[in-house]
Structure 1
Amino acid sequence: QPSLSRPVVEELASLGFLERRENVVLVGSPGVGKTHMAVAIGVEAVRARKLTYFVDCQRLVGDLKRAAEKGALERRMRFYAHLSLLIVDEVGYLDVDKEGADLLFQLVSRRYERRSTIVTTNVGIGAWAKVFGDPVVASAIADRLCHHCTVLKITGRSYRTKDLAPDRDAGSGA
């Protein structure tokens, strides 16, 4: 991804951020490589024998809600809190309801300064209030995620539409 600094990417691949218990937020439009970058870092973490888990935001929220309904939330939170690296993909693609936002806040709070989290998002952090439906919860989540964090803004054209003619990629979904 040409918009990223090679030294920053190499530093992330070295996994030093895990030892420092820092986070990574990858921000950019769909198709620019956010998930690819997160998965690549995750693979390096697995190779380094770090307990790593990849989940999209909606599945994570659903899992936490189901655990709460079954009276198993504490157990599920412990599972996610224990991981060396939690990768949460696609924050912002779909809105999260109040219950989901509260559960995510609890999880982020448990991991804060203890474990590392990577988040991929197509929405700038300043616009998370709309995603989470509550500016206070969104601010608290962002505050903890971004306190010790590398934020990478990835720009460029989607690799999925790179072969479209210029007059077709902005049109009616062709």
Structure 2
Amino acid sequence: MDWVTRLSAAHAAGRLQAELAKLRRYGLIIVDEVGYIPFEQDAANLFFQLVSSRYEHASLILTSNLPFARWGDVFGDQVVAAAMIDRIVHHAEVLTLKGSSYRLKDTGVDTLPSARAENTAQ
């Protein structure tokens, strides 16, 4: 959400394009936990602009515990999600990790209840 907040402030100040150009100069931007909190429509559009601006110009690492099929729910718009995923996966290395959470390794719990429900639905 920090990236969206930064872009939102730039947009409100009338300098969104300048901010996106500045962010394109970063060799790598890492966005952790995409989908942890759903995006408002304006935030989804700003995040799309960040992804689109960096597309084929600079590297972007995204992490998410959600499959791409659920990103439409996160961004509130299937079309925006599809366009964003298209740009993200083109020239990308997509890694899907399966198994127990590292954070749970010493708790005696193998999986979280939400992960168990999702696994049984498959």
Indicate whether the TM-score tops 0.5.
Answer: yes
Instruction: Report the aligned-residue RMSD.
Output: 1.8
Secondary structure of 1:118 counterpart: strand
Structure 1 segments (4+ residues) deviating >6 Å = none
Return 5+ residue gaps in structure 1 as ranges: 1-57
Q: 2:92 corresponds to which letter in structure 1? A: C
One-letter identity of the residue aligned with 1:91:
V
Corresponding residue to 2:24 among 57, 78, 81: 81
User: Partner of 2:22: helix, strand, or coil?
Assistant: helix
Q: Match for residue 94 of structure 2?
A: 151
Aligned to 1:67: 10
Task: Indicate the structure with greater helix content.
Answer: 2
**Whole-Å separation in 2 of the counterparts to 1:119 and 1:166:** 26
The correspondence for 1:94, drawn from 29, 37, 40, is 37
Q: CA deviation at 1:72?
A: 2.1
The amino acid across from 1:151 in the alignment is V
Once the two structures are superposed, what CA deviation does each residue of 1:26-61 show, in whole Å capped at 9, x if it has no partner?
Answer: xxxxxxxxxxxxxxxxxxxxxxxxxxxxxxxx1111
Q: What is the deviation of 1:157?
A: 1.2
**Aligned ranges for residues 11-160 of structure 1 at < 5 Å?**
58-160=1-103
Provide the identity percentage. Answer: 44
Give 5+ residue unaligned stretches, structure 2.
Answer: 114-122
Normalised by the size of structure 1, how large is the TM-score? 0.60
Amino acid at match of 2:70: A
CA–CA distance in 2 between the matches of 1:146 and 1:164?
35
Amino acid aligned to 1:133: G
Q: Describe the superposition over 1:84-131 as per-residue Cα deviations: whole angstroms up to 9, x where unpaired.
A: 111111101001111111111112111111211111111111210011
Give CA deviations for 1:132-152 in whole Å, capped at 9, x if unaligned.
000000000000011111000
Distance 1:106 1:166, change over 3 A: closer
Name the structure, 1 or 2, with higher relative contact order (CA <8 Å, separation 6+): 1
User: Per the alignment, in what secondary structure is the counterpart of residue 62 of structure 1?
Assistant: helix
TM-score for both structures, normalised by structure 2 = 0.84
* CA distance in 2: counterparts of 1:78 and 1:166, whole angstroms: 45
CA–CA separation in structure 1 for the residues paired with 2:49 and 2:109: 44
Aligned residues: 113
Distance in 2 of aligned mates of 1:72 and 1:88: 22
